[in-house]
Structure 1
Amino acid sequence: MPQDNTIAVPTRLILGSSSVYRKELLSRLGLLFDTMVPDIDETPHPGETPDATALRLAREKAAAVASKAGAALVIGSDQVATLDGEQIGKPGNHANALKQLQKMRGRQVIFHTALCLWDGRKPDAARAAQMRNVQTLVTFRDLPDAELDAYLRIEQPYDCAGSAKNEGLGIAILQSIQSDDPTALTGLPLIALTDMLRQAGVAFFGQPAAQPH
């Protein structure tokens, strides 16, 4: 049963992610949810555009979890950063992160945050998935190597595409953020997600919501 100040969900809700950032963002909605880690290959396909990569991986994450979860609502999300059309992945270590920040300083980077809500109550896989790609335009400050190196040693954002955590100290190396969905850059666009959840029957304020067909 829902606890105080939580919103009833018409079926089990699962976040298909190991990201603590996405878990924190989803928690803001007051929904009861579980988490499962999808086991997929996140390597981009040859010739695949950045937005196509993000959308495919978001869908594959949701589908992988849904295949084990049955009649549940599953959230999958993925993010790809691009500069001049080139994908910028997670750096993995300090040296790679510094190279990323050096390349991006004074430049505008596009972050594609893809979202998939998979409705396991629908038998038709083609109709089960709602998809959305939210773009965020981020301009990095033109900072010297010493400041970039110092930032990385403090926050160590080696698991983040683009080597900067905008929800932390990384905001200090950014000049501007432009997006229609303010939480997209952190990894889970909540405006898009709440729209999808409403379509799946979640009533956030007790109002009638659309039911699955």
Structure 2
Amino acid sequence: MPLVLASTSRFRRELLSRLALPFLAVAPVCDETPLPGESALDTAVRLARVKAMSLADTHPDALLIGSDQVALLDGEQLGKPGTLEKARAMLSAMSGQTVLFHTALALYNAASGRLQEAVDVTRVTMRPLTPAQIDAYLAREPDALHCAGAAKSEGLGGALIARIDSTDPNALIGLPLFALVTMLHNEGVEIL
């Protein structure tokens, strides 16, 4: 079966390519706005599912992969900042705090209708950050504007972080590969 990643994220494409499987990356049809009263976990799961299932009509015989990440700080969801001002505010609020990154994964078999879902929750403890450090980071890491909480751990953002607790280090980057390998196995796709 064809494998389709429902994402335009180069980070997710790079992660999926580590499995050495052929795949297409296609933009999903998805409004990423959290619903009123929706928890970070529920937002991430819903968006991963919607992304995967949004491509079923155009790829009816494919395995469709959707993933989404929502950061949570003191009960407030932090998405992708998009602007320098929002990124500064997010990083200032996260300074010295522990942030929970909910990374949801959905694998949808468009032919059979089978849906598998998983969530990795990564605890990230940030270093205390000065405004000058935040500005230096944002000047040197422009991709941070496209990352949940503006924290790009796999790049210069590693300097912002004091500790990471996770069951899958790939999840923080945007795609829980350990769970995906299991899901693909359940669909008869062997990696090794």
| Deviation string, structure 1 residues 56-86 (Cα, Å, up to 9, x no partner) | 0000000001221011100000000000111
Task: Say whether 1:12 aligns with 2:15.
Answer: no
- TM-fit CA distance, 1:174: 0.5
SS at match of 2:106: strand
The 5-angstrom pairing of residues 50-129 of structure 1 reads 50-122=40-112, 125=113, 128-129=114-115
**TM-score using structure 1 length:** 0.88
| Deviation string, structure 1 residues 125-158 (Cα, Å, up to 9, x no partner) | 4xx1100111000000002111111101111211
**Which consecutive unaligned segments of at least 5 residues does structure 2 have?**
none
Asked if the contact 2:66–2:107 (Cα under 8 Å) also holds between the matched residues in 1, the reply is yes
- Supply the distance in 2 between the matched residues of 1:76 and 1:27 (Cα, whole angstroms): 15
| Deviation string, structure 1 residues 17-75 (Cα, Å, up to 9, x no partner) | 00000000000000010111012111111111110000000000000012210111000
- Supply the distance in 1 between the matched residues of 2:55 and 2:67 (Cα, whole angstroms): 12
Considering only aligned residues, what root-mean-square deviation do their CA atoms show, in Å? 0.8
Asked if the contact 2:21–2:191 (Cα under 8 Å) also holds between the matched residues in 1, the reply is no
- Supply the distance in 1 between the matched residues of 2:43 and 2:190 (Cα, whole angstroms): 31
**Which consecutive unaligned segments of at least 5 residues does structure 1 have?**
1-10, 206-213
Q: Which residue of 2 aligns with 1:211?
A: none
| Deviation string, structure 1 residues 146-173 (Cα, Å, up to 9, x no partner) | 1111101111211111111111000011
- TM-fit CA distance, 1:204: 2.0
Asked if the contact 2:5–2:23 (Cα under 8 Å) also holds between the matched residues in 1, the reply is yes
More helix by share: 2
- Supply the distance in 1 between the matched residues of 2:32 and 2:40 (Cα, whole angstroms): 12
- Supply the distance in 1 between the matched residues of 2:29 and 2:109 (Cα, whole angstroms): 19
Task: Say whether 1:139 aligns with 2:130.
Answer: no
Q: How many residues align?
A: 191
- Supply the distance in 1 between the matched residues of 2:24 and 2:118 (Cα, whole angstroms): 22
Misfit runs of 4+, over 2 Å: none
- Supply the distance in 2 between the matched residues of 1:92 and 1:204 (Cα, whole angstroms): 35
SS at match of 1:183: helix
Identity of aligned residues (%): 51
| Deviation string, structure 1 residues 87-127 (Cα, Å, up to 9, x no partner) | 011111111111111100100000000000001120xx4xx
**TM-score using structure 2 length:** 0.97
Larger radius of gyration: 1
Shifted more, 38-47 versus 183-192: the winner is 38-47
SS at match of 2:55: helix
